[in-house]
Each structure stands twice: as C-alpha cells, then as structure tokens.
Amino acid sequence: MRTSLPGYVAIGRMQARTVMRYRVDYGAGLVRLLFQILLLRVVWEGLYAGRTMVDGISFSLTITYLTLGNLQNWLFSPWIFSLIPERVRDGLVGIDLTRPVGFLGQVVASQLGRTAAMAPFAVVALPFASFVGGAQPSTSPAAIIAYVVSLALGYCVITILSVLVGLITFWTLELEGLFLIYRMAVQFLSGALVPLWFMPDALRIVVEVLPLQAVMHTPTAIYLGRIHSGDVAIAMAVQALWVVVLWFAARLVWSRAIRRMIVQGG
Amino acid sequence: MIRALRMWAILARAALRAEMQHRVHFFFGLLGGLAVQGMGLVFIATILTRFGDLGGWTFQEILLLYGMRLTAHALWVIPFASLFQITHVVRSAEFDRYLVRPLNPLIQLMTRRMAIVTIGHLIGGVAILAAGMVRSGVVWTPVNVLLLIAALAGGALTEMSLQLALASLAFRLHSATELMLTLDSVFNSFGNYPIKIFGPVARWGLTTVFPLAFAAYFPATVLLDRTDELWVLPWIAAAAPAVGVILAALAYLFWRAQIRYYSSSGN
C-alpha cells in the first residue's frame, strides 16, 4: 500500500486536471444546481404556505437541510460513475490494468482527485446557495465536528456504491439508462428532495434501511441537531457499517468482473 | 416541406434502428427515461401526501399539468435530441457535410442520432397525462380535447423554439450545449409546477422574457377552470398554442440567419 501511494496520488491529480480543463462545464453544472435549490425553496415555501412550523420543524430548518444536502450531493457527484463505464467503452480499461496499482484503487483515487478539484467550486457556490436557498447555523461546535466526520463517511459510502454500480459495465458495456436510474435514486433516497422526516412512514422505513440515507441525510441531520447527541454515534456506526459492507461487495463483484472483461478495440 | 418531412421520417427510422441494435441498451434507455419522470412524480406525490395541496392545486390537478408538460417535452425532444450535440458538430466541422448535401441541414442534424431515453419520456408522459385526464375532474368535451391537443403541440413548439435559438448561438460562440442543458433543466424542473407559486417577479419573467408559462401551465389553468389565479387575461392563456407557433417561426428564422456565421474549423 505504501509503495503504491505515489501512483494513486498521480492518478488523482490527473483527474483533478480534467476537472479544471472542463471548468466551464462544471460552472454550468453549478448554475443548474442553484436553479434546483431555488426550485426546492419555492416549492417548499408553497407547501409551508405561511406556517412557521410543520410537525415542529421550521421552514428555515427544512430549507437549510435541502440546500446543504444538494450542494453536498453535487460535490460527491455520484453520477460521474468513477469513470468505469467510459474506460470500458473506450477499451482504456486494458491500459488501466497494466498499471502497477490496483484498478479499484485507481477508480477511488480518480474520484478523490475530482472531488478535490471541485471543492473550490463548492466553496464559491456556498454563499450563493445559501442566498437562493437558505442557511441556518449549526446547533453547536460539537455538532459541526460530528458533521465533518459523518460527511467523510457519507462520501465513502457514495464513492464505493458508485464503483459497485459502475462495475456492472463489465457485463453490459455502456448503459446510459441504468446510470440515469441510479442518479434519480440517489436524489430521492438520500433525502435531497424531501427530508426523511416528511416522508410517509412506510416510505421512510424503506429509505432508512437503504445505504443512500447515510450519504446525505445523516451528516446534514447531525449538522442541524436533528439527530440527538446520544444517537449520533449510532448513526455514524451505521455509516461505517455501510462502508465496510459495500467495500466487500465491491471486491467480490470486481473479482468476478475481471474474468468477464472485454477490452474493446484491442 | 412534404419532401423534408418524408426525408426526416426515413432518416429518423434509420437512426432508431441503429439504437435498437443493442437490446439491453435500448431497454435500459427506456427505463432511464421513465425513471427521470417517475422520480419527479414520486416527489410531488410524497409532498402532497403530507401537505395536501400546493398553492391550492390538488395532486390530481398537478397530475394533469405534469402530464401535459412531460408529453409536450417528449414531443419536442424525440425529434430534436441531437440538437444538444450542436457544439460538437460545429467544433468538429461535421457541419461541413450537412451544408454540401442536398437536404436541409437542420434535418440532417436532427437525425444524427436518436436518444432512446426520450422515448421513455414519452411513455411516462402519456401515462401521467392519461391518469391526470381521468382524475382531474375535467369534462372532456370536444372543445377541451382540441385545446389539449393544441396545447401539447404548442408546448412542444415553445420549448423547441427556445432551444433552437440557443443552439443557433453555437455558430458564433462555438459553444451552446451547456446553455441548452441549463435551459432544459429549468424547463424540466420549473415547468411542472403551478407557476403562480413562484412569486410576482418570476411569474412575469416566465411569461415574457422566458415564456415557460405558455408551455403547459396556461392551457392547464384553462382546462381546470383556474384562470382566476392568473396575472394575464384568460384569452391570452387560451391562446398559448398560437404563441408556440409564432415562437417556432421566429426561432427558425434566427437559426437560418445564424448559419451564415458558421466557419469550418477545417482539417
């Protein structure tokens, strides 16, 4: 692991450079994100219809949750799929496999590089997002620290999950439609459109046993003090459990995928 | 005109056949299109289950509006999906070829590829529209049916016009796709809601500068007998399909004027 670290860093840096090259596209993506946040704001304003509280939850709390959550989801960019589909389609996966570092590690390193390059965009977007959406300070400094830890765990969950979904490409080659379904599932099941506390009970129970709520809902709810301090540790343990389970699942699928591999155009 | 339509039909069928070569790709493309529309609907169903109404609109009424918008969207995007590739087509000088062949360049661009996802949009849109038609309580007199059909065509033309105008910018700016995707996302997110909830500034903006209100919301208020809530005269709302036709003519003239600025990147 130690010896291959420079290799992973180089791959991450390569990916970061790609983001900078396409900065106009990413900038436009941010504008779309701001529209999305604005839409959520006006729709939720319409739903609150002048009430300050619904089920004991203020409008400002709900809109902060949605603003922060959507910005996080944008930064995590789960729909860029860890590059696997693109590499498989173009046959470049053959080159990737000859590199002296593991393939899954390369994919994760790319994703980290991309996120690092996108982070400044997210920082610039934060005040705009707070303006069109809303922002409310966290309840306590302890909650902010817990938020950062939980956000990192959420990032691990979504990154590994995207690798797992991306690996399907080894069986199917390009599947634009499947990724669209995944992207929509991430949006809804992570809580980025409807906070979990406003979902009907039957739906909420389903969402709570799925991994996607660990991506956005858990950190955001911790930030806003919606998870009581006693339960914060449990929520994070659930996130950590998902990281481990998904990582083993990804290893397992990868060990099968490599036997199925076709290098196109070789 | 008739020849152009026939050529379009032949080329579109060929492009569709190319997409259908890979069955799994085709099937998941359809499902993907359905997922996009399905998620928007699940969102509205979830919030209205909890809150009852949005700006006075019930779920059943929003269902009709949503179905109209999606169907109109599918009607524009199925034939015009390749328009989103304009940046690539201009930059790679692929447009050179369109200019030397004896067929309208726009039709050649349109039939460059078919996007299967858009057929999923149509299936989803029609299903939601049918549910909305049954459950919204509108009495489907011949006049209402005609208004609905005209509204779908007008909505498709309105959206097409704005996108075609943006695509035309690619000849001079060498870049239009990102702008078009942004417009698309605005249409797909804001267009599905009763526009009155957006507040006075956005209402007027979405009526004049950026006429999204004409795409589905205005005709839906006429069908649902909700024109009292409008900020324009009811007859303007009922005339929405005509607005689509006028915009389409203007957009096409703009496209024709902008083609002259095309300069090949050469090779």
The distance of B117 to chain A (nearest Cα, Å) reads 7
Q: Which of A24, A51, A181 to probe the B interface (max B CBs under 10 A)? A: A181
pLDDT at A234: 94
Question: Does position A41 have pLDDT exceeding 60, yes or no?
Answer: yes
The pLDDT confidence band at residue B255, using thresholds 50, 70 and 90, is very high
Please write the tens of the pLDDT for every residue from B53-105.
Answer: 898 999 999 999 999 999 999 999 999 999 998 988 888 888 988 998 888 99
Question: Does position B266 have pLDDT exceeding 90, yes or no?
Answer: no
The pLDDT confidence band at residue A3, using thresholds 50, 70 and 90, is low
- The encoded tokens of residue B89 equal 């087509």
Tell me, rounded to whole angstroms, the distance of Cα B51 from its chain centroid: 29
The distance of B57 to chain A (nearest Cα, Å) reads 10
pLDDT at B40: 86
pLDDT at B113: 84
A25 touching B (Cβ < 8 Å): yes
- The encoded tokens of residue B107 equal 């039709």
Question: Does position B267 have pLDDT exceeding 70, yes or no?
Answer: no
- Residues of chain B with Cβ-Cβ distance to A180 below 8 Å are 32-33, 35-36, 117
Of B199 and B150, the structure prediction assigns the larger pLDDT to: B150
pLDDT at B185: 83
Ordered DSSP codes for chain A = -TTTHHHHHHHHHHHHHHHHHTHHHHHHHHHHHHHHHHHHHHHHHHHHTT-SEETTEEHHHHHHHHHHHHHHHHHH-GGGGGGHHHHHHTTTHHHHHHSSS-HHHHHHHHHHHHHHHHHHHHHHHHHHHHHHS-----S-HHHHHHHHHHHHHHHHHHHHHHHHHHHTHHHHS--HHHHHHHHHHHHHHTTSSS-GGGS-HHHHHHHHHSGGGGTTHHHHHHHTT-S-HHHHHHHHHHHHHHHHHHHHHHHHHHHHHHHH---TT-
pLDDT at A77: 72
pLDDT over 90 percentage in chain A: 34
CB contact under 8 A, A177 and B116: yes
Report the distance separating Cα B235 and Cα B240, nearest Å.
9
Report the distance separating Cα B180 and Cα B85, nearest Å.
10
Question: Does position B1 have pLDDT exceeding 90, yes or no?
Answer: no
Question: Does position A83 have pLDDT exceeding 70, yes or no?
Answer: no
- Residues of chain B with Cβ-Cβ distance to A178 below 8 Å are 28, 31-32
CB contact under 8 A, A43 and B197: yes
CB contact under 8 A, A180 and B30: no
pLDDT over 70 percentage in chain B: 99
Q: What is the mean pLDDT of chain B?
A: 89
A73 touching B (Cβ < 8 Å): no
Question: Does position A94 have pLDDT exceeding 80, yes or no?
Answer: no
Region A100-114: mean pLDDT is 82
Of A248 and B188, the structure prediction assigns the larger pLDDT to: A248
- The encoded tokens of residue B147 equal 């208004």
Interface pTM (ipTM) of the complex?
A: 0.83
pLDDT at A248: 94
The pLDDT confidence band at residue B220, using thresholds 50, 70 and 90, is very high
Question: Does position A185 have pLDDT exceeding 80, yes or no?
Answer: yes
pTM recorded for the entire structure: 0.84
Region A181-187: mean pLDDT is 88
pLDDT at A206: 94
- The encoded tokens of residue A104 equal 């899954």
Lowest mean pLDDT among A7-16, A69-78, A84-93, B113-122: A84-93
- The encoded tokens of residue A160 equal 């590994």
Nearest to B76 by CA among B189, B215, B222: B215
The pLDDT confidence band at residue A69, using thresholds 50, 70 and 90, is very high
Report the distance separating Cα A220 and Cα B132, nearest Å.
36
- The encoded tokens of residue B15 equal 């492009």
Question: Does position A88 have pLDDT exceeding 80, yes or no?
Answer: no
Please write the tens of the pLDDT for every residue from B111-134.
Answer: 888 888 888 889 999 999 999 999
- Residues of chain A with Cβ-Cβ distance to B190 below 8 Å are 35, 39
Question: Does position A86 have pLDDT exceeding 80, yes or no?
Answer: no
Region B175-185: mean pLDDT is 86
DSSP letter assigned to residue B213: G
pLDDT over 70 percentage in chain A: 93
CB contact under 8 A, A43 and B193: yes
- Residues of chain A with Cβ-Cβ distance to B19 below 8 Å are none
- The encoded tokens of residue A243 equal 């990281």
Question: Does position A117 have pLDDT exceeding 90, yes or no?
Answer: no
Q: What is the mean pLDDT of chain A?
A: 85
CB contact under 8 A, A198 and B47: yes
pLDDT at B117: 82
Report the distance separating Cα A255 and Cα A258, nearest Å.
6
What's the one-letter identity of residue A219?
P
Region A92-116: mean pLDDT is 80
Map out the domains of chain A as residue ranges: 5-260
The distance of B183 to chain A (nearest Cα, Å) reads 9
How far, CA to CA in Å, does A2 sit from each of A105, A250, B267? 13, 22, 47
The distance of B54 to chain A (nearest Cα, Å) reads 6
- Residues of chain B with Cβ-Cβ distance to A43 below 8 Å are 47, 54, 193, 197
Nearest to A212 by CA among A188, A232, A194: A188
pLDDT at A259: 80
- The encoded tokens of residue B119 equal 């057929």
Question: Does position A228 have pLDDT exceeding 90, yes or no?
Answer: no
How many Cβ atoms from other residues are within 10 Å of residue A107's Cβ?
26
Highest mean pLDDT among A226-235, B90-99, B145-154: B145-154
How many Cβ atoms from other residues are within 10 Å of residue A97's Cβ?
14
Of A21 and B172, the structure prediction assigns the larger pLDDT to: B172
The distance of B103 to chain A (nearest Cα, Å) reads 31
Question: Does position A2 have pLDDT exceeding 60, yes or no?
Answer: no
Please write the tens of the pLDDT for every residue from A128-147.
Answer: 888 888 888 887 888 899 99
